[in-house]
Each structure stands twice: as C-alpha cells, then as structure tokens.
Amino acid sequence: MTATTDGSTGALEPHAPSATRTTTTTTAASDVEDLAARAAQRSIDHLLARQDAEGWWKGDLETNVTMDAEDLLLRQFLGILDEATARAAALHIRGEQREDGTWATFYGGPGVLSATVEAYVALRLAGDAPDEPHMARAAARIREQGGIASARVFTRIWLALFGWWKWDDLPELPPELVFLPSWFPLNIYDFGCWARQTIVPLTVVSAKRPVRPAPFRLDELHTDPAVPNPPRPLAPAGSWEGAFQRLDKALHAYHRVAPRWLRRAAMNTAARWIVERQENDGCWGGIQPPAVYSLIALHLLGYDLEHPVMRAGLESLDRFAVWRDDGARMVEACQSPVWDTCLAVIALADAGVRPDHPALVKAADWMLGEEIVRPGDWAVRRPGLAPGGWAFEFHNDNYPDIDDTAEVILALRRVRHPHPEQVEAAVRRGANWTAGMQSRDGAWGAFDADNTSPFPNLLPFCDFGEVIDPPSADVTAHVVEMLAHEGKAHHPRTRRGIAWLLAEQEANGAWFGRWGVNHIYGTGSVVPALTAAGLPTSHPAIRRAVGWLESVQNGDGGWGEDLRSYREQEWIGHGASTASQTAWALLALLAAGERDSKAVERGVRWLADTQAEDGSWDEPYFTGTGFPWDFSINYHLYRQVFPLTALGRYVNGEPVVGRLGKGA
C-alpha cells in the first residue's frame, strides 16, 4: 500500500505480494484486498477524528455497576451524596439489570451475587422502593443465593460501614502490616500494586470499624433476618485455608488488645504512605478502588472534606464519571489514555499513515511528556534500577506499567519526530527499565518484578480477585517484541523471555491471556513477538498456534472468546465474534506467514463486512481483563485500534519498526 500525501484521505493501494509469498491472483483474493484497503481507510479517518487536541486518544473504560454503587456508598458515607448524582447513577444501574433481577459483571455474563447486592443497595439510596418489581426480583435472587452472608468480603465491608453487617464477622486486617519489612511474608509489597494501594487504607478502616447511621434496613436481603450473620465453618487445620482462617481468628483477638501507641503509630504510618502516593490529579494509582478507600481512611483519621488531599481526591473521582446523552452517569474504574494512544499510533502507522503525519508527531510529543523518570514502589524489588517508563493513566507516577512501556516504545519507533534525540533518550531509558524489571523466571509481570508470593491470595480478606502480579505471556510477549525491534533479539534477557514463552504454550497451541480475553489475546500477542525475535514461521510452536486459531474460527469468519473461558474449558477460544478478538487472531496468523490462507481471508472479510459506515466497529462484549473472571473490562477503543492494525498489516505486510531520524 502507498500512503496518501497527508496520510488521512484517499484510497489505499493493496499490498503487492512479496517474492517469498505464494502469489494469489484470483478475483476473490483481489476483492478481499480491496475490501481491506477501503475498510482501513475508513478506520484511519475515524480514528484521526477522535484524537484529542493535546495529542492523546482515550476510549471509555466500561466495567460493571459495582463502581457506580460504591461511588454512591462513598458519597453517602461522607455525607455528600446529592440527588442529581444519585438519580443519574440509578439510571445507569437500572439499565444494566438482567431480566432475572440480577446484575452481571460483563456483557452477556451470568448474574453475580455481590454485584447484585451492591446495585440493589445503591438503588435503595437513590430512592427505589423494595416493593418495586425490579427491586423485588433482585432481592429474591439475592436470598436464593445465600443473601448478604454469601457476598464477597468487599461487599460486606461496604455494608459494615452503615451497620448492615458486623465488623466482628469480617476478616481482620491490622494496620501494623505496614511495619513488616519487604523480606517478611505478607508484607505490603507482596501484594500487586492495585491490591497494595487498596489494602493499606483498608487496614485503617478495619482498625477504626466505623458505622454511620443507615438510612434504611436491609432485612429483605437476608435468608433469615433473625440470624443475619451465620457462622462459617472452619476448613481443616492442616490446609492452607484452615491455617489462614485460624490466623484471622488470632488477629481478631489481637484487635481487642493491640497497644494503643502501636496502633496509633501504624495508622499514622499508613496515612503518610497513602498521602505520599497521591498523584498530581488527586487520585491514587489512577484507579478508582484505592481512591475511595484512601478517602475513607484519611477521613477517619481526621482529614476534613476541605483538606487539600481530600478535596483533590474527590475531584479526581468526579473526572471518572462519564455522562451519557440520556442523563445516565457511569463511573470508570480507570482511564487508559497512554495505552489507547500508543495502540492508536501503532494502528495508524501500520495502516500507512506517514510517520511524520502531524497527528502522530503530536501523539509522540504527548507520550514523551508522560514519561516517568522517578522511582516508585517497583524500586523496593529493584533498588538499583534507573527509572524510565510509562503508566496506563494520565497520572500514575508511582506505578509505571511494563506493558505500556513496551507498547509506547513500539509506537514511538513508528514516528519520524523532528527531534529524534528526544525519542532516542526516552526509548533508551524505557527499554533499560523494562529489561531490568524481568523476573527471576525470565518473564515479566505488569508492574513489579518477582511479585509471586502465594500467601496474599490465601488471606480470607482477599476474595475480590487477583492480588499478586506474576509474569504473564501477554506482557512478556510485548516486552520481547519491543526488545527485538530495539536490536536485542539475541540479548540473554530476550532469549530467556522467549524460552519462558515457549514453555508456557498450552497443549492446544494457545497461550493464556492474563490482561485480555483470553487465549486469543495471549496467542495474538505471543506469535508476533516470537517471529519478531527471529523464530521462523515453520517453528513447531508457531505451527501449533496457527492450527489452534484455525480450529476455533467461527463460522461467520470472525473469532471470539467468552470470559467464562477463565473458569470453564469449553469456552476456550469460543464465543461470539468480536472486532478486537478477530483482529488479535489475524495479527498472529499474519505474523505466522498465513496472509494468503483461507482463515485470514475470511477474518478480513468479517472485519470489512461488520464495519460501520463511519469506519468504526460496534462491540458490546468485554474483551479486556482486570482480574481473570472477577473483574472484566470493555475498552471502547479496542474495537477501533486492533482491527485497523490487522487490516493495515494485511494490506501493507508486517511492520518494519526502527529508528526514524529527522531525515530518514
């Protein structure tokens, strides 16, 4: 394909077959190339039109109604819940209720008890009466599933804040935890960064055990209102679960006798830890859950609502609200501008937008301005490593993201910047930092190195999803791909990463996807990385991956995988076709040299046929992952950037990523 003069308008020329590719001259092949070229051009125009004036892209980050419910509960606890906010949030929450009265945590998924309890309570706060049909259905389903007593710990913590649950019947989490050294089991740095930021403030809440007057009772959510907190049986003492249950009993006993001076010192240390990690925009870690618990903890320690820390924190949460045209208000758990921007740049460049196009240069300038050059919590495990990297969000200097850093570098290398020395310096810092974050097993996690302790997940407190950050195939693949394009394909660190990936391939030929759904995402990440690092397309691992992808292609030509694949094997590689997952499969197949295969042709046709007139794709399904199964994400820009990347590589061939100097 030949890019147009401005990279944004005009028809795209189909890619000429390479000398090493079996040429296809049939009318059908020519037709699909034309379809791909036209679809790519429409997508380019659509994506360029969505760029912010500052240079970034950001799609909505949709999760589930617990974010909206907990936002209302926070405001109720702090005494700042207003009628307009409650009404708008209720409109969104009601719209997400399933016909059976429950709420799911992803589109098309099954009802989830904890989400249903939190949504129900939020609607009660907004004024919905318990005898209204939709509320009665929800309450009935809650009772059928065991009532509040069967909900997750985090849900019951929220209820305990208002006296709807007893603090004595919750797992204990003492603030003295902050004093444990980093080498001691169950110190705060054994937890993944997202869990760490949540648990530290919750230790203060657990110690204070506050109860604000409840505006109503919740008897209708108990299977037996006379015994709302039924005792739970203990697991055998010889099991890990039983051991940690008994540890929790000991901690409850300690709560009653903890020395006041020690507890006060622990809570003050926790408060300093929290305040030191507040970002410039007022949030904590750029994500909603740590922010709400940090605000509660600090408020309990005497920070009034007009304190600058509190005021900035509340303002940051307001920025997480997405207001719909119908007046509904949805709360994002996080915002993803750095991730969305680097993926958009890669997509546009691979689709033929010229490397010095103003949109790409502006995006590169914005990404360069987002580089993090100071140490964060990651330095606890890597104290001698020089900083350099990028986070996921607008502001999150404490927790740069290894995955984002790898993709930002790949994006910057596709831009011909007027000051290449700036790009070179930032890329060098980022690549060195990323390489240094390699774990002992040769792979990479998302935020920390060697964050693999088995103990945090065993705590009775930690039933809200993954709480550690072990290496994953998708992150490791992105790092390997980046290092290969940086000329380090044969570096010992890269080779160890490749060896780890090859060992992690599953028997069916796929790779598990930690941060995207699921095996299609993992495979779509790993195959391009392995071929970029020099593995031949004839390698047995590549051939097994190709065979698996071809075997799970849907009858309509697309690919899809339901989130239930994280728990149920029969869903692996199966689900309704989506634009993002079809693109991931195509990226793997194209990297494996399968451009002229029937599977690729059918996948490209599916993308072209399902594209809207404005160049976008519709995708209600959740294809992003926060915690496998427990917390799912619909990144609204995934449906735009990944199909464009796949179409661009189909039309243009595999990208050549390198140093683009000013006059290159």
Q: How many whole angstroms separate alpha carbon 499 and alpha carbon 501?
A: 5
What are the structure tokens assigned to 285, written together? 């870690």
Q: Which of 377, 403, 404, 469 is catalytic?
A: 403
Q: How far is CA 610 from CA 27, 420, 576, in A?
A: 21, 39, 13
Question: Is residue 470 helix, strand or coil?
Answer: coil
Q: How many whole angstroms separate alpha carbon 438 and alpha carbon 376?
A: 16
Helices (H), 351-472: 358-369, 402-412, 420-436
**Contact between residue 105 and residue 631 where contact means Cβ atoms under 8 Å apart:** yes
| Residue of 477, 404, 463, 594 lying closest to 171 (CA atoms) | 463
Active site residue 403: yes
Q: How many whole angstroms separate alpha carbon 457 and alpha carbon 462?
A: 6
Give 103's Cβ-side CA count (13 Å radius). 27
Helix (H) or strand (E) holding 632: strand 631-635
DSSP secondary structure string, 424-452?
HHHHHHHHHHHHHT--TTS---SS-SSB-
Strand partners, 635: 61
Q: How many whole angstroms separate alpha carbon 203 and alpha carbon 298?
A: 11
What are the structure tokens assigned to 321, written together? 């609200």
**Contact between residue 145 and residue 600 where contact means Cβ atoms under 8 Å apart:** no
Active site residues: 403
